[in-house]
Amino acid sequence: MCMAEINIGEHWFWWVLLVACLVWYSTVTVYVAIRGALDIKHMLARLAAMQEQER
Amino acid sequence: MTHFSWPIDGTIVGLYLLATMIAGIMVRKYVGKVEHFLVAGREMNIYLGIASLAATEFGIVTCMYTAQNAYKYGFAGAIPGLTNVVAMFLVGYTGFGVKPLRDAGVMTIPELYERRYGKFVRWLSGVVIVLGGLLNMGVFLRMGGQFLVVCCGLNLKYLEVTMTVLLIAVAFYTILGGMLSVLVTDYLQFVVMSVGLIAVTVLVLVKTGWTNAVFTVDTHYGAGGFNPFVNPDLGWQFVLSNTFTSLAAVLTWQPVIARVLAAKDSATGRKIYTRTSFFFIARWMLPGLWAIGALAAATVTPEKLAEIARSMGEKDGTIFAMPYFLGLILPSGLMGILVAAMLAADMSTDSSYMLTWGSVIYNDVLGPFRRRRLSERAGILWNRFIVAGIGLFLLFWGLWYKLEGDLWAYLQLTGTIYLAAMSILLIACCYWRGANNWGAIAAIIVGAALPVLGLALDKLVPLPVLDAAGQAVFKDGIAQTIGWKAKYIGDAWLNIGTYAATAAAMVIGSLLKSALGRHDAAHRALA
């Protein structure tokens, strides 16, 4: 069998899954990077405030 | 010959390591209580949770076993990723098991079990969680070192040094900052890791080509390379076994559930699950494609892989196909990004795993022996010692233990030592009024005994590998062997059997206690 005989469309499921993974990763990474940084900032601020209160 | 260049790639990796260490150490000043050290004061919000969970559940070891599965079984080898997505999304969406767990306000799963099954079950749960978790994690360090050696073309004599340096760096910031350091470094590691994963996947896709990838899988494995149900090495038992493992891991795998327990509330924990779920197929698909690229490459020959395996003292060369292939195709610069990404992946996993197994040792294994409550300061100190102790164990286990077969099969089996019992205990604890400590104890013993027996049979009862004519197979003058369990039972059946037997033990044990209790009560009433 040669490459020309392969029916790529038959295996659409894995192609869609791969593209979905790449798209998901590219978009989610940027979004999570921005929102995650804010989460860290708020988390540390709350912990610092709690430490202040306990003193 | 790899393209790793010390001036370019070494600088990228060095900068990444420096940034991680600084971030990890900086947050140590916020650790004032044991709760801060173990669950970050329960102040984690959704997006940090997503970054942390995604980074924790993707290490070099993940990359190695997902790639090995794809190299050996084609696209069908990525099925565990699909079962994982479905399990995590459904559990997050419905709150099944995780909502009552988070609402209980506990720091570890065994703590919840004490409320329902008593102190002894809490202690026993802690013991099997630590046993399964540490055996599972024992191979991480060696895999990480082997990946770096093969991919970067480092001299093999640096394997142990690489492993030790990696571990010391991770242990250093984890010991100082606990979960806070883990979360902040996980965030950095998630970003670096994602950039590396995307860049390498695009390059592999361009170099190999999708048509060629499909053709390669079809040539090697036929329809079984795309459909696990028709693959003679996988079959429906593989899918069922992975469905059980995925559901149990989502419910009770301590490093995963630690994100739910560290979340602000159960709603946040559930959102972290639903929004991270798709990542669990990405972690199988992307390294899987790299491995299929290796399968398609003429330069990655079975002989070369066998030679690498021999030099590493391992039996199976397929695990090295992906790192060897990447070492050949990645240009300098991208190589640095990949190594930084893989170090990021590995460090986030190691730090998180050390902390979470440590939390169970402190809270549930040693906790019952403490006669008086420790001060916060003493508690943090204890936790730091425990994390350091786990680091030492990893170093020695990683140097000593040699894999017998598939990496994923090993991880699944060692995970099952506790996953089977803990998931059944959790479900029964939350949803079955009839569950009691007899059932719980029986389930824990059965759930741990069967996988340990399987591992022991493989190690202690090697059988000769025979060819079609019934003659012993030799490789390099050495007779090839296969473990008893691998030959007569298989990993998937042992896994399925363990879940079934554990559930049966839970039901029978609980009903037996109830029945005897009723019998005793009737006897006392008559007397």
- Look at B218 and A6 and tell me if their CB atoms are within 8 Å: yes
Q: What separation, in Å, do the N-terminal and C-terminal C-alpha atoms of chain A show?
A: 76
Specify the pLDDT at position B244: 96
**Closest C-alpha to B451, from B122, B66, B132, B83:** B132
Residue B463, SS3 per DSSP: strand
Subunit contact A36:B285, Cβ cutoff 8 A: no
| Helix%, strand%, coil% for chain A, nearest 5 | 90, 0, 10
Report d(CA B24, CA B168) in Å as an integer. 13
- Single out the residue of B76, B96, B78, B74 nearest to residue B87, CA to CA: B96
Strand partners, B479: B474
Look at residue B511 in the predicted model and tell me its pLDDT. 96
Contacts of A9 (CB under 8 A, 6+ apart): none
Longest dimension (CA), chain A: 76
Confidence (pLDDT) at B33: 83
Q: What is the pLDDT of residue B476?
A: 67
Count of Cβ atoms closer than 10 Å to residue B381 Cβ: 13
* CA-based nearest residue in chain B for residue A32: B47
The shortest C-alpha distance from B276 to chain A (Å) reads 10
Express each pLDDT in B292-319 by its tens digit: 999 999 889 999 999 998 888 887 889 9
Name the pLDDT band for B215 (thresholds 50, 70, 90): very high
The residue behind tokens 């020695």 is B396
Structure tokens at B146: 């082997």
**Do the Cβ atoms of B260 and B273 come closer than 8 Å?**
yes
Using CA coordinates, name the residue in chain A closest to B78. A14
Name chain A contacts of B210, Cβ cutoff 8 Å.
Answer: 8, 15, 18
Per-residue confidence at B367, pLDDT binned at 50, 70, 90? confident
More confident residue, B368 or B434: B434
Closest CA to B399 of B79, B145, B219: B145
Residue A1 has pLDDT above 60, yes or no: no
B190–A32: do the CB atoms touch at under 8 Å?
yes
> By C-alpha distance, which of B277, B271, B282 is closest to B250?
B277
CB B50 within 8 A of CB B276: yes
**B456 pLDDT band (50/70/90 cuts)?**
confident
- Distance (Å, whole) CA A21 – CA B338: 18
pTM of the model: 0.88
Q: Which residue has the tokens 């990228």?
A: B12
Lowest mean pLDDT among B158-167, B306-315, B328-337, B357-366: B158-167
| A contact test, residue of B25, B29, B45 with most A CBs within 10 A | B45
Q: Which residues of B touch A (CB under 8 A)?
A: 27, 30, 32, 36, 40-41, 43-51, 54, 75, 180, 183-184, 187, 190-191, 194-195, 197-198, 201-202, 205, 210-212, 214-215, 218-219, 226, 278-279, 281-282, 285-286, 289
Residue A30, token pair as written in the block? 């940027």
Q: What is the pLDDT of residue A2?
A: 62
Q: At what angle do helices B79-94 and B235-252 cross, to 10 degrees?
A: 40
Least CB–CB distance from A43: residue in B44, B191, B197: B44
**By percentage, how much of chain A surpasses pLDDT 70?**
85
Six-digit token string for B283: 């972690």
Task: Report the share of chain B in percent with pLDDT over 90.
Answer: 46
Q: Do A44 and B282 touch (CB under 8 A)?
A: no
Using alpha carbons, select from B22, B183, B39, B20 the residue that is nearest to residue A40: B183
B24 compared with B424, residue with greater pLDDT:
B424
**Residues of chain B neighbouring A21 (CB-CB closer than 8 A):** 278, 281-282, 285-286
| Chain A residues touching chain B at CB-CB below 8 Å | 1, 3, 6, 8, 11, 13-15, 17-18, 20-22, 24-26, 28-29, 31-33, 35-40, 42-44, 46-48, 50-51, 54
CA distance B315 to B319: 10
Pick B211's closest partner by Cβ from A1, A8, A28: A8
